[in-house]
Structure 1
Amino acid sequence: RSCLGLTPALTARRLSKSRKAPKSHYITVRQRQPLLMFFSHEKVNPEHLALLLKSEWKLSYVTPLYQFRHTQLKSYSRQLSAFIAAEKQQGFAVEVDGSQSNFRVSFSVVQGMTETEDDAETVLIQVRAGFLRPISEAQRSVWSGWLTCVNGNSDYLCSLPKDFICLPLFGSSGSEVLTTLVQSWFQKMFDCCFGPLEMNNTCLQWLAALWTNCHPESSIQHLKMIWTLPVVPPLQITYTVNPKDAWKLWSSVRKDPCEENKEEEGVSIDIEDVMRFMQGLKSHFYRHFRLDLSAGCLKQVSTALGSATFSGRVKISNSQYILSTLTLLTECALFKMPV
């Protein structure tokens, strides 16, 4: 039954997609869909959207969930509440700000957070703490999390057995203890596995390019990058670029697809665009400071639209481009999953 025990044919098909060099992997996806996707606020509960935008999320990947049903969320809410209560009763240190509170869990569907018919609907999980007065009084949210799949690889999603649901990207905000408990419950209930989703150089460079590309519509205000260089002691460099300069460089390195392709496929970006953009930034830095950033590692990228770190923390600050960001992160989660 385990999701790691899929038939060889299915895993082989997935491997043929995932094991290509990062360059080939991303080009394939970028050619399939227009890269700039605008988010329709009308489809999403405003409270859900506000929660997604206000928090910084710690990312993980999740293998496919066995017999997970979106129609059973009320039952899952009760079961996870009972699981946390049982762990607390057995001595598990479940405390929030030193208080011994009661915990209530709610699962809900975030409508409108899909891009293709193969994507499963996003699921939001909230844990509230408080004392047992009338049910909704004196309770506050102490932990939030979500599972999503935006523009997941259609070949892989269609290859899954019908009893498996793929929501490969998991974000959590709140107590690490509660994160551990929630993940443990999911693993026991749905025979899945969680793992840390660190963002490598390629992923962070993609985000820098994606957000810079949005500058004419939504000012990025700055492009800030943090690099580390392998010297003794380690050298950390903060590189902040004026948004107009970043946009001017980005415009100069972009390929100009023919009008025919624009109409057929929409605006797209490939890995060559990203690499030329980053090389331009590195070359400019080298001319001024005689330090080669190519020898180091990109650890953090931030703009007014969002921020992301090598350790797998992300904050999305602008709802217009949330689907573009989640598409990239979904790809990273699928790419990182064990097979």
Structure 2
Amino acid sequence: MERAHTSVTRTPLTSVVVQRRSKSRSYRLSYRSCLGAASRLGLTPALTARRLNTSRKAPRSHNIKEKVTPEHLALLVKTEWQLFYVTPLYQFRHTQLKSYARQLSAFIAAERQQGLAVEVGGPQNSFKVSLSVVQGMTEADADAETVLIQIHSKPLFASQDEPKKSVWSGLLTCINGNPEYLQSLPKDFTCLPLFGSRGVENLSSLVKSWFQRTFDCSFAPLEISHTSLQWFAALWTNCHTESDIQHLKMLWTLPVVPPLQVTYTVNPHDAWELWSSVRNPSQKKGDGAEEADCIDFEEVMRFMQGLKSHFYRHFRLDLSAGALDQVSTALGSAKSSGKIKMSSSRYVTAILTLLTECALLKMPI
């Protein structure tokens, strides 16, 4: 133990270490204020009362390599993304991505001329921006195609033949988005609620600023809640028989002074046995393949309680008093600070489905 001081493109148990322009008012402003000014959506801005689903399909191995290009797939997996949620984009068109890339390049160049520091590990030549559709990522009819944003550059004194390297990447996506919400949006709006970025923060800020000015949207950090982290722990454990999760590692923070951080690592076989034991007995009896393929949040809670009880018996520390800050397995990792890493291409869809749900819950209605 240790104490921490710290295709068609469309637009629609067992080791432990303790340590988104309106005619009158900006649509974006109405989102930000969440007060009484009406937006072009014709809705009264307010925070949605919806909650995370209490039941969801168990993730299954899904070979997206057959639909997604290797280049795009390599950018998606084994990279840690910083997450944000994005309000619907006004008059965004997937058919205009090349034009958007030129505009964003010009915007970054203009900001540099105004003296803003946009350096990446030293002085850089001009930045080249590309926007592309990630074909094969949509799951539901209402989902808009995923958009990948890349910024390339090379050092100022690099040789002329040296190719530009990727210095920043961004992802706008919607996987299995809530159909009721998506279909309620006017046709001029495109909903890509989940935004991920990797690279230096000043480039992230410039990209978000350009999108906000161009499509009247708003960005805000997307933290991964305690409940969502518990879902990740259960969903990844459920994948163990198809893909060895190798470990279930959790980071908890207990509210003492100074804060006590607990790293709790569970043997994958022990985690699987516990998960199997808490599954709803009626589903085991075969009430239909579709029902048996669902996971209820009650099962997730029983699973987490089993883990916490085991920990208490051995270390006399009640993790229920603390907060779950991080979950990781060989399939990926999720942090409460809003960072996600997808380590296996076979479960990208399942991970992005849950994160899309989390982002949509931030949307005013």
Q: Report the TM-score, using the length of structure 2 for normalisation.
A: 0.85
Moved over 6 A (4+): 131-136
Contact kept? 2:58, 2:238, Cα under 8 Å: no
| Paired residue type of 1:26 | N
Give the superposition deviation at 1:263: 2.9
The aligned runs of 1:140-289 (5 Å cut-off) are: 140-256=165-281, 257=283, 261-265=287-291, 267-289=293-315
| Paired residue type of 2:346 | Q
| Paired residue type of 1:302 | S
Q: Where does residue 11 of structure 2 map in the other structure?
A: none
Residue 54 of structure 2 corresponds to residue 27 of structure 1? yes
Secondary structure class of the residue paired with 1:233: coil
Higher helix share: 1
Residue 154 of structure 2 corresponds to residue 124 of structure 1? no
Contact kept? 1:150, 1:327, Cα under 8 Å: yes
Cα distance in 2 between the residues matched to 1:100 and 1:161: 41
The aligned runs of 1:69-148 (5 Å cut-off) are: 69-130=93-154, 137-148=162-173
Evaluate the alpha carbon distance shift between residue 106 and residue 164 of structure 1 in structure 2; reply closer, same or farther with a 3 A threshold.
same
Secondary structure class of the residue paired with 2:293: coil
Give the superposition deviation at 1:114: 1.0
Evaluate the alpha carbon distance shift between residue 278 and residue 34 of structure 1 in structure 2; reply closer, same or farther with a 3 A threshold.
closer
The aligned runs of 1:287-306 (5 Å cut-off) are: 287-306=313-332
Cα distance in 2 between the residues matched to 1:318 and 1:125: 21
1:32-81 deviation digits (Å, cap 9, x = unpaired): x5643624311101110011113110000000000100000000110101
Evaluate the alpha carbon distance shift between residue 6 and residue 209 of structure 1 in structure 2; reply closer, same or farther with a 3 A threshold.
farther
Instruction: Give the root-mean-square deviation of aligned CA atoms.
Output: 2.1
Contact kept? 1:39, 1:323, Cα under 8 Å: no
Cα distance in 2 between the residues matched to 1:39 and 1:118: 22
Contact kept? 1:95, 1:101, Cα under 8 Å: no
Cα distance in 2 between the residues matched to 1:68 and 1:34: 33
Evaluate the alpha carbon distance shift between residue 263 and residue 10 of structure 1 in structure 2; reply closer, same or farther with a 3 A threshold.
farther
- Give unpaired runs (5+ residues) of structure 2: 1-21, 32-38
Give the superposition deviation at 1:200: 1.2
Number of paired residues? 329
Q: Where does residue 5 of structure 2 map in the other structure?
A: none
Cα distance in 2 between the residues matched to 1:200 and 1:183: 23
Q: Where does residue 339 of structure 2 map in the other structure?
A: 313
Percent of aligned pairs with the same amino acid: 66
Q: Report the TM-score, using the length of structure 1 for normalisation.
A: 0.91
| Paired residue type of 2:231 | W
The aligned runs of 1:28-47 (5 Å cut-off) are: 30=56, 35-36=59-60, 38-47=62-71
Q: Where does residue 78 of structure 2 map in the other structure?
A: 54
Contact kept? 1:10, 1:159, Cα under 8 Å: no
Cα distance in 2 between the residues matched to 1:136 and 1:292: 60
Give the superposition deviation at 1:98: 1.3
| Paired residue type of 1:311 | S
Give the superposition deviation at 1:327: 0.4
